[in-house]
Every structure is written in structure tokens, then in C-alpha cells.
A and B are shown apart, each in its own frame.
Chain A
Amino acid sequence: MNTDKTTYKKYVKSRAPKSPTLKNSVFAFLIGGTLCTLAELLFHLYITIGISEEITKTLVPVTFIVIAGLMTGIGVFDDIARFAGAGTLVPITGFANAVVASAIDDKSEGFILGVGAKMFTVAGPVIVYGTLSSAVYGVIYWLFGVMK
């Protein structure tokens, strides 16, 4: 086969079916939107039963993390995420799934070298660059404060 690499790669790209972006986006919008609406409802529910707004702001994500973790544990999260895509990946549910799924997988290597060491292999970059960007944002925020 004499085709050069560049031509071959172009040919491969041209014949590969594209991901169904429109369908994926619609599902992500609907499911992601539903999750956010549920979060809003939950927020009002917690306030109604007398929990302070400060604590409720933490309690809502925690509830979602617990639910996503449980659903990962019983093996249904990935079945939903297959259709939901970014709808379950972008909210905090995706983060919870990434950590719990890793923990389940790595259990076989023990609690120290398995779960402990490898739990954040997928979610790790989010924590590292999330913290880093918040630090950068903090510096910018501080600079604006100084300049005022």
C-alpha cells in the first residue's frame, strides 16, 4: 500500500461517521436542564424545611454527588450517560461518577494502592486545573481591587 500518511489520514477522516452532534446536544440540553431544574426544586425544598441558605448551597451539590455515586455503584449511571452525554458529564454528577467509577474499578488493587492512589485518575485534572484557574482568577480579582 503506497498511499502516504497524509493522504491516508485524510481518507480515513472523510469516511469516518461523525458523532450525532445535534442528537447529542438535544439530549444533553434536556437531561442537563432537567438536572438543573431538580437542583432548583431541591434548593427551595431545603429552604422550605428551614435549612439556612448558606448550608443549602452546599447541601444541593452534596445530594447530587450522593445520588450520582449511588447510581454509578449500582451500574445505571453509564447507561443514562450514554444518551445524556454532556448533560450528566458537565454538572457535578459527572465529577462524582468519574471518582466513584475509578474507586470501584481500583478496589481490586486494595484500599491504599488501588482506591486511594487511583481514585482521581479521571477526575484529577479537573481538580488540578480547577484549583489553578481559581487561583489565577483570584489574582485578577485582587488586581482589579488594587487598581480601584
Chain B
Amino acid sequence: MSVIKIKKPPSIVSGAAVVGEKEHAGPIGEKFDLHDKTGAFGMDTWEKAESEMQRLAVNTAMSKAKLCADDIDVIFAGDLLNQCVGSTYGILGFRTAYIGIFGACSTFTEGLLVSSMLTGTGYFSRCAVVTSSHFCTAERQFRFPVEYGGQRPPTSQWTVTGAGAVILSSGGDGPFVTDVLPGIPVDKGITDANNMGAAMAPAAIDTFTRYFIETGTKPSDYDLILTGDLGLQGHGIFCDFMKNAGYDMTKNYNDCGLLIFGLKTQDAHSGGSGCGCAASVFSSLILGKLKARELNNILFAATGALMNSDSIKQGNSIPGIAHLVHISNKKE
């Protein structure tokens, strides 16, 4: 698989992020558009709350771009719940075409990648991309009941309660998705579901090295290199192996999972994770900086751990994946 240049790079016209209380209390809490103290968003189940976050995120992103649901050709949406029901119920009310996507926590950049390719070749004129995760829905599906009194190992990550949505348009004045690189699943034999960073880092290493080799660029050519939710462990592993491959990541590399929580102050162990992590951080903080021209040229790859609760119990290892998008204020 090689880097795909988008023929007519689409513009990210707007974005919005909706988060829970812990995320709002975090270091970038003020950047998010909406939050709910209880995390329930007025709903009677956590699953409905997650869907409501998606609806609110898309709605807010559309209103920022002064668009309504009829102006959107298709919504690309994904989450971590079985059969992606979080997305289905979330976007149902818009009565817009819907393409459900899954790439675990890499789903947000997967959505950006597919939607920009289809918008950039003229099939769609406007798309929305939205992904979400909710701490309580993820806990009960993948780990223990929410109120269960257990101790988490230091390598574990905290699922972000949040949704992020962006609107892509064939028009607009940037930032533009100029080229993309789909990820290849990489399995390095990690079976510990409490060390997702270690399971996903090899995929990020694979995607970024392929990108740098093929484009002939290096990390310092970009204002920011951003991964989705590698967390403390994955971040360190990524830096180590990239250094060995000749790429210095110490200057301008960051991870959404490290940005969203105060690791020590918020008891988040190795950092944030989930489909909503990369989505909410990008749609608020990063997109804001791109729009303000504080950042002009970034590489963004969300990373996913491709597993489910049964595959882990059956002792299967966890393959990782990382889809990369190049976002620039220049329409190259």
C-alpha cells in the first residue's frame, strides 16, 4: 500500500467535541464544545448517552459551518460498541446517508481517510466524520462493571468519554487533507489488554516509517506529529523504535491520550484511549490551532487495537492498526 495523494484535497470546514466530566476537568478541558457532569447526557443508559454525544458533536459541527443535515451527503461514523450501535442511534435522526466504519480506536482517522478520498474525487461534496467512546460502555463491554472495586495496572489506559465530529467539504479554505496512508495491521504478539499502547505502537511505527520513506520527508518537516491513543507506554515504544529507524520524535511528537488527561492528577495511569480520544482532541484543540494557523502542517494517525472481549479470553494476541492523514493549510 502506498501513500494516496488526494486529487482535490477537501477542506475540514468545522469540528466539534463533546466530552464527559473527567475530560472537561483535564488539561485541555476548556477547548471542548460541550460536556455533561454526569456523563449521562440526559439519557437512561450509558449506550444512549454515547449516541447522544455523537448527535451533539455532529449537530454542533454542522451549526459551526452553518450547515444543516440536508447539506451533508454522507456521515461516516464509528464507535466501540457491538455492531457500532452507538453510531447508528446517534446519527439516526439526521436522516442522512450513513456509512458505519470500524477500526477500533483508529476509526477517526480511518473516517477522515475514506471521506477525504471520496470527497477529493468528487463522489461527495460534503461529509461528516464522527466517532465516540464512553468510559462506562467500554468498561462494561470489555472489562468489569463500572462500580467494580478492582485495581488497574499502571500500563492500563482510561477510556475517554467523548465524541468528536468534523465536516469535510470539497470547497472551503482549509485545513486540507492532502494525502493519506491506510494502515496495515501489525501483530507483535501482545496479549495483555491492559497494555494497549504496546499492542498498537508497532502499527504506528510501521505506518509512519512507510510514510517517511515513501514521501522522503522527516519528522522535522512537520509542525506536529500526532498519534491517537498510544498513551505513556505506546508513546515511549514509538519514540524508541522510530529513533532506531533514524527518526527523531522528541521535538514535535505528541499523543491525544497524553494530552487529554493529567496522568498523575487524574488517576489516568497510562493515559486516555478509545474512539473518542483522538476524535475529541483533534476536533477541538488541534483543529482550532490549524484554523488559527498556529499549526500548518501535521501528520495525524489514530491507532486501534483490533480485538474484542472474547478474542482476549481465548488468548489471541492483539493486532494494532494506524491510519495516517496529512493535514495542511496549503492545498498542495
**Which residues of A pack against B, CB within 8 Å?**
1, 3, 5-6, 8-9, 11-12, 15-20, 24, 72-73, 75, 77-78, 80-82, 84-85, 88-89, 94, 97-98, 100-102, 104-106, 108, 122
What are 16 A-to-B residue pairs whose CB atoms are below 8 Å?
A: A1-B188, A1-B205, A12-B198, A24-B151, A72-B147, A77-B149, A78-B149, A81-B149, A88-B149, A97-B149, A101-B147, A102-B148, A104-B145, A105-B140, A105-B146, A122-B144
Cα distance A100–B145 when bound, in Å? 9
Chain B binding surface, main DSSP class: loop
A88 (CB) vs chain B CBs: closest residue: B149
**Complex Cα distance A3/B236, Å?**
16
Q: How far is the CB of A22 from chain B (nearest CB, A)?
A: 14
Known: A1-B186, A15-B233, A108-B47. A89 touches B144 (CB 8 A): no
Contact A12 B237 (CB under 8 A): yes
With contacts defined as CB atoms under 8 Å apart, how many contacts are there between chain A and chain B in the complex?
96
Q: A8-B202, A108-B47 given as contacts; is B188 within 8 A of A78 (CB)?
A: no
Please report the total number of B residues contacting A with Cβ < 8 Å. Answer: 33
Q: Which of A8, A18, A94 makes the CB contact (< 8 A) with B189?
A: A8
Q: Known pairs A9-B189, A104-B146. 11 more at Cβ < 8 A?
A: A12-B198, A19-B151, A72-B147, A75-B147, A78-B149, A102-B145, A102-B148, A106-B145, A108-B47, A122-B144, A122-B145
In the complex, the answer to whether A101 meets B146 with C-beta atoms within 8 Å is: yes
Does chain A have a CB within 8 A of B155?
yes
CB–CB A16/B195 < 8 A: yes
- Cβ B149 vs Cβ A8 within 8 A: no
- Which of chain B's residues have a CB closer than 8 A to the CB of A12? 190, 195, 198, 233, 237
Q: Report the bound CA distance from A72 to B195 in whole Å.
A: 27
Considering the complex, which residues of chain B in the window 219-236 have a beta carbon less than 8 Å from any beta carbon of chain A? Answer: 233, 236
Given A5-B189, A15-B237, A122 and B154 touching (CB < 8 A)? Answer: no
Across the interface, B190 reaches (CB within 8 A) one of A9, A81, A122, namely A9
B151/A81 in contact, CB under 8 A = yes
Specify which chain B residues have a CB less than 8 angstroms from the CB of A6 in the assembled complex. 189
